[in-house]
Amino acid sequence: MSLLKIQDLKVYFNARGKTVKANNSIDLEIRENEILGLIGETGCGKSILGRAIVGLLPDNVKIGGKIVYRSEDILNLSENGLRKIRGKNIGIILQNPSAALNPVLSIGNQISEIYRYHENMGKKEARIRTAKMLEMVGIDPKRMHEYPHQFSGGMKQRVMIAMGLALNPGLLIADEPTKGLDPTTKDKIIDLICELVINKNMSLLLITHDIGVAEKMCDRIAVMYAGEIIEIATIKNILSNPQHPYTQDLLNSLPKKGLNQTAGESPSLSSPPAGCRFHPRCRCIIGKCLKTHPQLMETEKGTSVRCFLYGNN
Protein backbone atom coordinates (compact mmCIF):
# COMPACT_ATOMS: atom_id res chain seq x y z
CA MET A 1 0.00 0.00 0.00
CA SER A 2 1.43 3.42 -0.77
CA LEU A 3 2.29 5.59 2.23
CA LEU A 4 2.54 8.87 0.34
CA LYS A 5 1.26 9.67 -3.14
CA ILE A 6 2.26 12.92 -4.88
CA GLN A 7 -0.01 13.69 -7.84
CA ASP A 8 0.81 16.43 -10.38
CA LEU A 9 2.50 18.62 -7.75
CA LYS A 10 3.31 22.14 -9.03
CA VAL A 11 5.35 24.56 -6.89
CA TYR A 12 5.81 28.01 -8.51
CA PHE A 13 7.57 31.08 -7.07
CA ASN A 14 7.41 34.56 -8.57
CA ALA A 15 10.82 36.19 -8.07
CA ARG A 16 11.66 39.50 -9.75
CA GLY A 17 8.89 39.22 -12.31
CA LYS A 18 9.82 35.70 -13.51
CA THR A 19 7.91 32.63 -12.32
CA VAL A 20 10.33 29.99 -11.09
CA LYS A 21 8.84 26.56 -11.80
CA ALA A 22 10.66 24.80 -8.95
CA ASN A 23 8.48 21.66 -9.18
CA ASN A 24 6.68 21.10 -12.49
CA SER A 25 3.87 18.47 -12.30
CA ILE A 26 5.60 15.81 -10.20
CA ASP A 27 4.11 12.33 -9.72
CA LEU A 28 5.82 10.20 -7.11
CA GLU A 29 4.84 7.41 -4.76
CA ILE A 30 6.55 6.26 -1.56
CA ARG A 31 5.54 2.77 -0.34
CA GLU A 32 5.45 1.47 3.25
CA ASN A 33 8.92 0.93 4.81
CA GLU A 34 10.80 1.66 1.61
CA ILE A 35 13.83 3.95 1.10
CA LEU A 36 13.32 6.15 -1.97
CA GLY A 37 16.27 8.22 -3.17
CA LEU A 38 15.63 11.57 -4.87
CA ILE A 39 18.75 12.43 -6.86
CA GLY A 40 19.43 15.63 -8.77
CA GLU A 41 21.98 18.39 -9.19
CA THR A 42 22.01 21.60 -7.13
CA GLY A 43 19.11 23.83 -8.07
CA CYS A 44 16.91 21.13 -9.67
CA GLY A 45 14.14 21.64 -7.06
CA LYS A 46 14.59 18.46 -5.02
CA SER A 47 14.84 20.22 -1.65
CA ILE A 48 11.74 22.22 -2.48
CA LEU A 49 9.82 18.99 -3.10
CA GLY A 50 10.96 17.70 0.30
CA ARG A 51 9.82 20.85 2.07
CA ALA A 52 6.57 21.05 0.07
CA ILE A 53 5.50 17.70 1.57
CA VAL A 54 5.64 19.13 5.11
CA GLY A 55 4.46 22.59 4.05
CA LEU A 56 7.65 24.42 5.07
CA LEU A 57 7.85 26.69 2.01
CA PRO A 58 8.06 30.51 2.21
CA ASP A 59 4.71 32.30 1.88
CA ASN A 60 5.26 33.75 -1.62
CA VAL A 61 4.65 30.33 -3.21
CA LYS A 62 1.83 28.92 -5.33
CA ILE A 63 1.22 25.16 -4.91
CA GLY A 64 -0.99 22.96 -7.18
CA GLY A 65 -1.81 19.26 -7.24
CA LYS A 66 -2.25 16.76 -4.38
CA ILE A 67 -0.06 15.12 -1.73
CA VAL A 68 -1.95 12.21 -0.19
CA TYR A 69 -0.54 10.79 3.06
CA ARG A 70 -2.43 7.58 3.99
CA SER A 71 -5.57 8.72 2.10
CA GLU A 72 -5.53 12.28 3.48
CA ASP A 73 -4.62 15.20 1.23
CA ILE A 74 -2.04 17.26 3.11
CA LEU A 75 -2.21 20.29 0.81
CA ASN A 76 -5.70 21.35 1.80
CA LEU A 77 -5.19 20.70 5.50
CA SER A 78 -5.53 23.73 7.79
CA GLU A 79 -2.36 25.06 9.42
CA ASN A 80 -3.38 23.25 12.66
CA GLY A 81 -4.01 20.00 10.84
CA LEU A 82 -0.65 20.23 9.07
CA ARG A 83 1.05 20.99 12.38
CA LYS A 84 -0.35 17.77 13.89
CA ILE A 85 1.27 15.77 11.06
CA ARG A 86 4.68 17.45 11.17
CA GLY A 87 6.99 15.59 13.52
CA LYS A 88 4.33 13.02 14.40
CA ASN A 89 3.56 11.39 11.05
CA ILE A 90 6.21 12.97 8.80
CA GLY A 91 9.60 13.91 10.22
CA ILE A 92 12.16 16.01 8.34
CA ILE A 93 15.91 16.40 8.76
CA LEU A 94 16.87 19.77 7.34
CA GLN A 95 19.96 20.36 5.29
CA ASN A 96 22.53 22.33 7.25
CA PRO A 97 22.78 21.01 10.86
CA SER A 98 25.10 23.76 12.16
CA ALA A 99 22.49 26.46 11.38
CA ALA A 100 19.40 24.35 12.10
CA LEU A 101 19.92 24.06 15.87
CA ASN A 102 18.91 26.84 18.29
CA PRO A 103 22.23 28.13 19.73
CA VAL A 104 20.78 29.23 23.10
CA LEU A 105 18.84 26.06 23.95
CA SER A 106 20.48 22.83 25.15
CA ILE A 107 20.08 19.91 22.72
CA GLY A 108 18.12 18.04 25.44
CA ASN A 109 15.50 20.78 25.55
CA GLN A 110 15.29 20.94 21.78
CA ILE A 111 14.37 17.25 21.64
CA SER A 112 12.23 16.96 24.78
CA GLU A 113 10.02 19.87 23.65
CA ILE A 114 8.68 17.58 20.88
CA TYR A 115 7.47 15.05 23.44
CA ARG A 116 6.11 17.68 25.79
CA TYR A 117 4.28 19.48 23.01
CA HIS A 118 2.86 16.66 20.91
CA GLU A 119 2.10 14.18 23.69
CA ASN A 120 2.00 16.76 26.54
CA MET A 121 4.31 14.60 28.62
CA GLY A 122 5.65 15.62 32.03
CA LYS A 123 9.14 17.11 32.22
CA LYS A 124 10.72 14.04 33.82
CA GLU A 125 9.18 11.53 31.46
CA ALA A 126 10.15 13.61 28.41
CA ARG A 127 13.71 13.70 29.69
CA ILE A 128 13.84 9.88 29.89
CA ARG A 129 12.48 9.51 26.34
CA THR A 130 15.05 12.10 25.13
CA ALA A 131 17.89 10.20 26.84
CA LYS A 132 16.74 6.98 25.16
CA MET A 133 16.58 8.72 21.78
CA LEU A 134 20.06 10.23 22.15
CA GLU A 135 21.47 6.82 23.01
CA MET A 136 19.82 5.38 19.92
CA VAL A 137 21.63 7.87 17.66
CA GLY A 138 24.93 7.28 19.47
CA ILE A 139 25.16 10.43 21.63
CA ASP A 140 26.04 10.05 25.32
CA PRO A 141 22.83 11.07 27.17
CA LYS A 142 24.92 12.79 29.82
CA ARG A 143 25.69 15.50 27.22
CA MET A 144 21.97 16.34 27.08
CA HIS A 145 22.51 19.69 28.82
CA GLU A 146 25.24 20.85 26.46
CA TYR A 147 24.68 23.42 23.70
CA PRO A 148 24.95 22.99 19.91
CA HIS A 149 28.24 24.91 19.61
CA GLN A 150 29.89 22.21 21.78
CA PHE A 151 29.22 19.50 19.19
CA SER A 152 31.09 18.58 15.98
CA GLY A 153 29.39 18.57 12.55
CA GLY A 154 28.78 14.83 12.65
CA MET A 155 27.32 14.96 16.17
CA LYS A 156 25.00 17.84 15.23
CA GLN A 157 23.74 15.69 12.36
CA ARG A 158 22.95 12.93 14.87
CA VAL A 159 20.98 15.44 17.00
CA MET A 160 18.95 16.35 13.90
CA ILE A 161 18.26 12.66 13.26
CA ALA A 162 17.17 12.19 16.88
CA MET A 163 14.79 15.17 16.47
CA GLY A 164 13.36 13.79 13.24
CA LEU A 165 12.75 10.32 14.66
CA ALA A 166 11.55 11.37 18.13
CA LEU A 167 7.89 10.45 17.58
CA ASN A 168 8.55 7.45 15.26
CA PRO A 169 6.99 9.13 12.23
CA GLY A 170 5.69 6.92 9.42
CA LEU A 171 7.80 8.80 6.83
CA LEU A 172 11.15 10.53 7.33
CA ILE A 173 12.51 13.05 4.84
CA ALA A 174 16.32 13.50 4.99
CA ASP A 175 17.66 16.45 2.97
CA GLU A 176 21.39 15.93 2.16
CA PRO A 177 22.12 14.25 5.54
CA THR A 178 25.80 13.65 4.65
CA LYS A 179 26.73 16.95 3.00
CA GLY A 180 29.98 18.47 4.25
CA LEU A 181 30.96 15.42 6.34
CA ASP A 182 34.26 13.63 5.83
CA PRO A 183 34.16 10.01 4.56
CA THR A 184 34.35 8.17 7.91
CA THR A 185 31.54 10.19 9.58
CA LYS A 186 29.54 9.94 6.35
CA ASP A 187 29.56 6.11 6.48
CA LYS A 188 28.61 6.13 10.17
CA ILE A 189 25.62 8.44 9.52
CA ILE A 190 24.47 6.29 6.58
CA ASP A 191 24.57 3.08 8.65
CA LEU A 192 22.80 4.86 11.54
CA ILE A 193 19.91 6.09 9.34
CA CYS A 194 19.50 2.72 7.58
CA GLU A 195 19.48 0.78 10.85
CA LEU A 196 16.96 3.17 12.52
CA VAL A 197 14.65 3.27 9.49
CA ILE A 198 14.62 -0.51 9.12
CA ASN A 199 14.03 -1.54 12.73
CA LYS A 200 11.34 1.14 13.20
CA ASN A 201 9.80 -0.01 9.86
CA MET A 202 9.47 3.53 8.59
CA SER A 203 9.81 4.87 5.03
CA LEU A 204 12.61 7.29 4.11
CA LEU A 205 12.79 9.89 1.34
CA LEU A 206 16.53 10.57 0.90
CA ILE A 207 17.32 13.79 -0.98
CA THR A 208 20.92 14.05 -2.19
CA HIS A 209 23.19 14.91 -5.13
CA ASP A 210 25.72 12.24 -4.05
CA ILE A 211 25.01 9.03 -6.00
CA GLY A 212 27.45 7.03 -3.85
CA VAL A 213 25.29 7.65 -0.75
CA ALA A 214 22.07 6.79 -2.63
CA GLU A 215 23.61 3.51 -3.85
CA LYS A 216 24.32 2.37 -0.31
CA MET A 217 20.89 3.27 1.14
CA CYS A 218 18.03 3.23 -1.35
CA ASP A 219 15.65 0.56 -2.65
CA ARG A 220 14.33 2.80 -5.43
CA ILE A 221 15.72 5.95 -7.07
CA ALA A 222 13.93 8.92 -8.66
CA VAL A 223 16.16 11.19 -10.79
CA MET A 224 15.15 14.84 -10.98
CA TYR A 225 16.25 17.41 -13.57
CA ALA A 226 15.17 21.07 -13.95
CA GLY A 227 12.13 20.74 -11.70
CA GLU A 228 10.70 17.48 -12.99
CA ILE A 229 11.25 13.75 -12.51
CA ILE A 230 12.81 12.11 -15.56
CA GLU A 231 13.32 8.51 -14.37
CA ILE A 232 12.13 6.22 -11.56
CA ALA A 233 13.48 2.70 -11.13
CA THR A 234 14.77 0.17 -8.59
CA ILE A 235 18.41 0.64 -7.54
CA LYS A 236 19.38 -2.55 -9.45
CA ASN A 237 17.88 -1.35 -12.74
CA ILE A 238 19.25 2.20 -12.39
CA LEU A 239 22.80 0.90 -11.85
CA SER A 240 22.71 -1.96 -14.37
CA ASN A 241 20.77 -0.32 -17.19
CA PRO A 242 19.93 3.39 -16.78
CA GLN A 243 17.49 4.45 -19.50
CA HIS A 244 17.32 8.25 -19.60
CA PRO A 245 20.45 9.77 -21.28
CA TYR A 246 20.87 12.17 -18.29
CA THR A 247 20.90 9.25 -15.81
CA GLN A 248 23.47 7.49 -17.99
CA ASP A 249 25.70 10.61 -18.05
CA LEU A 250 25.23 11.09 -14.31
CA LEU A 251 26.40 7.54 -13.57
CA ASN A 252 29.31 7.74 -16.04
CA SER A 253 30.55 10.93 -14.42
CA LEU A 254 31.34 9.03 -11.22
CA PRO A 255 35.06 8.70 -10.44
CA LYS A 256 34.67 4.87 -10.47
CA LYS A 257 33.30 5.04 -14.01
CA GLY A 258 36.15 7.30 -15.27
CA LEU A 259 34.72 10.81 -14.74
CA ASN A 260 33.34 11.01 -18.31
CA GLN A 261 32.08 14.52 -18.83
CA THR A 262 28.91 15.92 -20.37
CA ALA A 263 28.91 19.35 -21.94
CA GLY A 264 26.70 22.24 -20.82
CA GLU A 265 25.20 23.51 -17.58
CA SER A 266 21.99 22.53 -15.73
CA PRO A 267 19.30 25.05 -16.81
CA SER A 268 17.94 27.76 -14.49
CA LEU A 269 14.44 27.00 -13.16
CA SER A 270 13.16 30.43 -14.13
CA SER A 271 13.83 30.02 -17.89
CA PRO A 272 14.04 26.28 -18.74
CA PRO A 273 14.63 25.24 -22.40
CA ALA A 274 11.56 24.37 -24.54
CA GLY A 275 10.54 20.76 -25.25
CA CYS A 276 12.55 18.20 -23.29
CA ARG A 277 14.51 20.10 -20.63
CA PHE A 278 17.64 18.02 -21.31
CA HIS A 279 17.74 18.43 -25.10
CA PRO A 280 20.54 21.09 -25.17
CA ARG A 281 22.92 18.56 -23.54
CA CYS A 282 21.47 15.29 -24.85
CA ARG A 283 23.59 12.88 -26.99
CA CYS A 284 20.70 11.06 -28.61
CA ILE A 285 18.45 13.94 -29.62
CA ILE A 286 15.63 13.52 -32.17
CA GLY A 287 13.46 16.22 -33.83
CA LYS A 288 10.59 15.75 -31.41
CA CYS A 289 12.74 16.56 -28.39
CA LEU A 290 13.14 20.20 -29.41
CA LYS A 291 9.43 21.06 -29.52
CA THR A 292 7.20 18.73 -27.51
CA HIS A 293 7.56 18.01 -23.84
CA PRO A 294 7.83 14.23 -23.10
CA GLN A 295 5.60 12.62 -20.48
CA LEU A 296 6.72 10.21 -17.78
CA MET A 297 5.87 6.80 -19.28
CA GLU A 298 6.11 3.40 -17.60
CA THR A 299 8.38 1.19 -19.74
CA GLU A 300 8.97 -2.09 -17.83
CA LYS A 301 7.56 -3.15 -14.44
CA GLY A 302 8.27 -0.39 -11.95
CA THR A 303 10.50 1.73 -14.27
CA SER A 304 9.24 4.95 -15.83
CA VAL A 305 11.17 7.38 -18.06
CA ARG A 306 10.44 10.81 -19.50
CA CYS A 307 12.09 10.48 -22.92
CA PHE A 308 10.97 10.00 -26.54
CA LEU A 309 13.46 7.14 -27.03
CA TYR A 310 11.17 4.89 -25.01
CA GLY A 311 7.49 4.50 -25.90
CA ASN A 312 5.68 6.92 -28.18
CA ASN A 313 4.21 9.33 -25.70
Residues that bind another protein (CB under 8 A): 13-16, 20, 22, 41-43, 47-48, 54, 56, 58, 60, 80, 83-88, 91-92, 94-96, 99-106, 113-114, 117-118, 146-147, 149-150, 160, 163, 166, 182-184, 209, 211, 249-250, 253-256, 258-263, 265-266, 268-270
CB of 289 to another protein, least distance (A): 19
| Cβ nearer to another protein, comparing 142 with 256 | 256
CB of 301 to another protein, least distance (A): 28
Nearer to another protein, 29 or 146 (CB): 146
Of 214, 307, 296, 224, nearest in space to 41 by CA: 224
Residue number with CB closer to another protein (50 or 294): 50
Element (H, E) at 66: strand 61-69
Cβ closer to another protein: 150 or 292? 150
Q: Judging by DSSP bridges, how do beta strands 2-15 and 61-69 pair with one another? A: antiparallel
Closer to another protein at the Cβ: 49 or 131? 49
The amino acid occupying position 120 is N
Residues 6+ apart with CB under 8 A from 292: 275
Helices (DSSP H) in the chain: which residue ranges?
A: 46-53, 79-85, 107-118, 123-136, 153-165, 183-199, 211-217, 235-240, 245-252, 287-291
**Distance of alpha carbon 142 from alpha carbon 157, whole angstroms:** 18
Angle at 217 between CA 211 and CA 221, to 5 degrees: 60
Q: How far is CA 242 from CA 143, 232, 237, 304, in A?
A: 46, 10, 7, 11
Q: How far is the CB of 297 from another protein (least distance, A)?
A: 24
Q: How far is the CB of 23 from another protein (least distance, A)?
A: 11
Quick one: which H or E segment has residue 15?
A: strand 2-15
In angstroms, give the least distance from the CB of 205 to another protein: 14
Between 256 and 301, whose beta carbon lies closer to another protein? 256
**Min dist. Cβ of residue 311 to another protein (A):** 26
Q: Tell me whether residue 123 or residue 265 sits nearer to another protein (CB atom).
A: 265
Q: Which of 55, 130, 49, 111 is nearest to 86 (CA)?
A: 55
CB of 149 to another protein, least distance (A): 5
Mapped onto helix, strand or coil, the DSSP state of residue 271 is coil
Question: How far apart, in whole angstroms, are the C-alpha atoms of residue 63 and residue 275?
Answer: 23
Q: Quick one: 239 or 292, whose CB is closer to another protein?
A: 239
Question: Shortest gap between Cβ of 244 and another protein (angstroms)?
Answer: 14
